Structure 1
Amino acid sequence: MKADGPILVGVDGSEQSRTAVSWAVAEAELRGAEVHLVVVEDRPAHDEDRWHMVRELGDHVRLEHPLVEIHERIVRGHPAQRLVSRSAKARMVVVGARGRGAITAALLGSVSVHLAMHAQCPVVVVRDLPDPSGQVAAGVDGSPQSRAALGFAFEAAALHHTDLVAIHVRQERSPEHAAPQPPPGAEQDRADGLEVALAEWDERYPNVPVHRVVPHGRPVAELVAAARGARLLVVGHRGRGGFAAVQLGSVASGVLQHAPCPVAVVRDETQ
C-alpha cells in the first residue's frame, strides 16, 4: 500500500461499478487522492466502446467532484490479477458488488476474494451508496492482526465526522460442533487486547466517539446486522477470536455477500 497513492476502481460499465465509482470519487475528495478508473479488457476490438464508456463515466463524476484528479485506463489480463498488480502503489482498490463482462457476475466469488486475499492495500466492495448519516462499523477481535483494520476504521470515521462502532463477536457454537472450553482468563485476555487496541487509536483520533458492542452469536450475522444503516463496515484479513481462523473464508465472504453497506477488507500489514 502507498499512503499517498491513488484510489483504483475496477470499472466494467455495470450499474454497480458506476456506484463504486461514485463512492470512490467522493472518498478521494475527502482524502485528497487521485482516482484511476481501470477497465480490464482482453478484446482489442472492444476498446473503442470501453474507452467511450469509461470516459463518459469519468466526465460525469468530474462534474460532481471537480477538485478530484481522475484518470482512465484500459489494461489487458485477468481482472483480479491486474488490480492486485497495481495495488502496491494504491491506497485502496474499489469494486462493485456485482459486475459483467471482464469483471464478471461472479465478482463475489473468485474476483473479490482474490483481491481481498492478495491486494497490498485495503479493498472496498460497494453494493449501494451508504446512508450519509451512518456510522463506521468495525469487526475487531483484540489480536495484533486486527490493528490495521481498526486504524482504517478510525481514519474513515474521522474523515466523515461520525462515530465508530467496534464489534467484538463472542462466537456461538452449536452443541454438535462445540469447541473445548478456552483456558481460564482467555476471554479476559481478548477483552484486554481489544481495549489496548482501541486505546491506541483513541489517542490518535480523540474526536471520534467509540461505541463498544460485544454480542454473542455468529460473526457473519452479527456483522451484517451492524452494517444496516452504517456508511462502512471494516473487517480484517487474518483475524482470530470472534472470527474464523481463515478470515477470508466463511466470515468475510459472507459479509461481502450480505452486508448492505460498502465493506472494506483490510490486510494485516505484517503479512
Structure 2
Amino acid sequence: MSTPDKPVVVGIDGSDDATRAAGWAVTEADRRQAPLLLVIVNDDPARTSYAEGAVHRTADKCRAMAPQLSVDVELASGRPVEELLRYSRQAQLVVLGGRGHGGFTDALLGGVSSAVATHASCPVVVVRRGVPTTAGPVLVGVDGSDSSTAALRFAFEEAQLAGAQLLVVEVWHEGDLLAGPLRREESDRVQEDVERSLADQVSAVQEQFPDIRTRLLAQRGHPVAALTDAGRDAQLLVVGHRGRGEFGGLFLGSVAAGVLHHAPCPVAVVRHAAARSS
C-alpha cells in the first residue's frame, strides 16, 4: 500500500538510463501522491562536482515534468549498495535505471541493482532501455510462493493506481515436476491443476480490489521467456524476489534475475515481509 509520507527514491548516476528511470518515477510518485527523492552515491571526492551537477540536472527535468511534485536531491558518500539499502528503509519504492556509465557504472544494473533488489526493505523497480509506456496492462508472474503473493498484492495496487488491467501469469514446465516429457493426458491434468491454483491465488487478493479488471493466464513454457514475451505489451512486470523451491534468501531468484535482464518493460521486484525482516 502506498504511504504518501514516504518518498519514491531514484538512484541517479548521470546516465541516460538513470534519467529515464527518474522520468518513470515522476509518474509513479505523482500517482502515489508521494515526494520524489533523487540520490546519487559518490565514492570518490574527485567526482563530487560531477555528481552534484548530474543529480541537480535530473531534478530540474523532473520538476519540469511535474511542477506540482515535491522533488528533493541528496548526494550520499559510500558504497552504492549500502547507501541505496539504507534509503530503502524509509522509501515506499526504489527506482533504478538499466545501465550506468563512466565512473558510476556499477551503481545501477549489474551486481549492485541485483543486491538492492535482493535485500531492499521496499519494492525495487528497474527501468530498462527504451521508452516506458503508460499503456498496456500491469503484468505479474506468480507461483504460489510467499514472494509471489507479495508481488501479486503489489501488482493489484499498481493496477489500481494506473487504472490499468492486471494480467496474472503462472508458467509451468516439466522441470517443475522432476519428470521427463509428459503424455498428453498428463499435460492436460497439470494444466488444469495450475489453472485452479492460479484462480485460488488471485481470489485470495482480488476481493480487496473489486474494480480491477483481471485476466488469468496459465501456460506451459519457461517462466523467464513467457514473462518476457508477455511484457512486450505491459507497462510494468512484477515478480517476487524468490520463487517456490529456490534456495535461501542471499541471492536474487532465477526468474527475477532473468526478467530483470531481458524484459522489455520496467520490472518491479517485491520481497515478502518475512524476507524483508531477515
TM-score by length of 1: 0.89
> Size of the alignment, in residue pairs?
264
**Equivalent residue, structure 2, for 1:225:** 229
1:143 positional shift: 3.0
Match of 2:261 among 235, 257, 262: 257
Cα distance in 1, alignment partners of residues 169 and 152 from structure 2: 11
- For 1:20 and 1:122, locate their aligned partners in 2 and report how far apart those are by CA, in whole Å: 15
Asked whether the equivalents of residues 238 and 270 of structure 2 are also in contact (C-alpha less than 8 Å), the reply is: yes
**Structure 2: which 5+ residue stretches go unaligned?**
183-188
Q: Is the 8 A contact 2:142 2:170 kept in 1?
A: yes
CA contact (8 A) 1:108 1:253 kept: no
Q: Give the structure 2 partner of residue 206 of structure 1.
A: 210
Q: In structure 1, what residue type is equivalent to 2:49?
A: E
Structure 2 residue 196 is matched with structure 1 residue 196:
no
Q: Separation in 1 of the partners of 2:202 and 2:82? A: 34
Extract structure 1 runs of 4+ deviating beyond 6 A: 185-189
Counterparts in 2 of 1:1-271, with a 5 A limit?
3=3, 4-101=5-102, 103-104=104-105, 107-127=108-128, 128-173=130-175, 179-180=178-179, 191-240=195-244, 248-271=252-275
User: Percent identity over the alignment?
Assistant: 44
Q: Distance in 2 between matches of 1:2 and 1:206?
A: 18
Shift of 1:93: 0.6
Alpha carbons of 1:54 and 1:145: their partners in 2 closer, same or farther (altered >3 Å)?
closer
> In structure 2, how many angstroms separate the alpha carbons of the residues matched to 1:231 and 1:63?
23
Q: CA deviation at 1:45?
A: 2.8
Q: Indicate the SS of the match to 1:221.
A: helix
Aligned equivalents of 1:78, 1:178: Cα separation in 2: 42
Listed one character per residue, the Cα deviations across residues 50-106 of structure 1 (whole Å, up to 9, x for unaligned) are 212211211121011011111111111111221011111110110001112454258
More deviation, 221-230/128-137: 128-137
What is the CA-CA distance between 1:212 and the residue it aligns to? 0.6
Supply the distance in 2 between the matched residues of 1:237 and 1:37 (Cα, whole angstroms).
Answer: 24
CA distance in 2, matches of 1:143, 1:178: 16
Distance (Å, rounded) in 2 between the aligned partners of 1:26 and 1:102: 28
Mean Cα deviation higher: 17-26 or 134-143: 134-143
Q: What runs of 5+ residues in structure 1 fail to find an aligned partner? A: none
* AA of the residue aligned to 1:59: D
CA 2–134 in structure 1, closer or farther in 2 if over 3 Å, else same: closer
**Distance in 2 between the 1:125 and 1:172 partners?**
30
Deviation at 1:132, TM superposition (A): 2.1
Query: How far does the alpha carbon of each residue in 1:155-212 deviate from its partner, in whole angstroms, 9 at most, with x for none?
Result: 1111111101000001244xxx971489xx9877765443233113221111111111
Shift of 1:48: 2.1
1:106 and 1:169 map into 2 onto residues whose CA distance is 32
Shifted more, 102-111 versus 64-73: the winner is 102-111
Q: Which residue identity is paired with 2:232?
A: R
- Contact 2:242 2:253 (8 Å CA) reproduced: no
Paired residue type of 1:17 = A
SS at match of 1:215: strand
Q: Is this contact kept in 1: 2:199–2:216, CA < 8 A?
A: no
State the 1:29 CA deviation: 0.3
Instruction: Give the whole-Å Cα distance in 2 for the aligned partners of 1:91 and 1:234.
Output: 15
SS at match of 2:105: coil
- Between 1:128-137 and 1:147-156, the stretch displaced more is 128-137
- Give the Å deviation of 1:233: 0.1
